Amino acid sequence: MIFPSTACIVQRKLGMHGGAAFDVQAVCTGFVYALAMADSMIRTGLASKALVIGAEVFSRILDFKDRTTCVLFGDGAGAVVLEASDAPGLLASELHADGRHVGILCVPGSVAGGAVTGDPFLRMDGQAVFKLAVGVLDSVSRSVLSKADRTPDSVDWLIPHQANIRIMHSAARKLRLPADRLVVTVDEHGNTSAASIPLALDTAVRSGRIARGHSVLLQGVGGGFTWGAVLLDF
């Protein structure tokens, strides 16, 4: 639907009534944005618990004649629950955006007058996205680590948005993290945008790789152009 928000529809289906429910539109950085917002709401007393969902249905906006995009993206959803605690698990976060780069990754169509106007499919300048993504992911990750008084070598696991393996490996190399500390699931379900980080987190927890006491760095970059990172102790 154009509205109400997906969050309100999910709230109805879960039988949860009365709490705030809203969508966050930051595309591939959406889960990082939503996680940071939920943490801020809990810290300020606006909420005591929060359900943070990353979900995408990219198959609806892919041009299956465009092999530069349709083979990369997938549908998916993942979620986490946050709650207030004396020992905060989320240590630091940082969010950014630069609207000057709107055109390099977008769906430029819209709905007007009862019809779709413009181009209703995802369009991407892959080289431009790659060049911008690698740099901003490194800078925002280092900034978040500095806020938490941590160093890159203290990170047990890096979970980037599962954009593509080249961007992910580049992000790990810039932080001088070995490849075995990088959680990779893009080969299993493609780039699921806002869903990719919670899906990768779930996979790593279920497999036993991420355990209590581990430090986990989440980082995302996406259309807008948006980017951000979150550091948490599991």
Task: Provide the annotated active-site residues.
Answer: 28, 161, 191
- Contact of 36 with 229, CB cutoff 8 Å: no
Sequence-ordered list of residues with C-beta below 8 angstroms from that of 198, at least 6 positions apart, any chain: 31, 52, 53, 54, 77, 78, 79, 80
Residue type at position 221: V
User: How many C-beta atoms surround the C-beta of residue 223 within 10 A?
Assistant: 22
How many Å apart are CA 80 and CA 135, to the nearest integer? 28
Residue 198's nearest CA partner among 77, 64, 39, 47 is 77
- Tokens standing for residue 92: 């630091």
* Residue length of the chain: 234
DSSP at 153:
G
User: How many C-beta atoms surround the C-beta of residue 228 within 10 A?
Assistant: 28
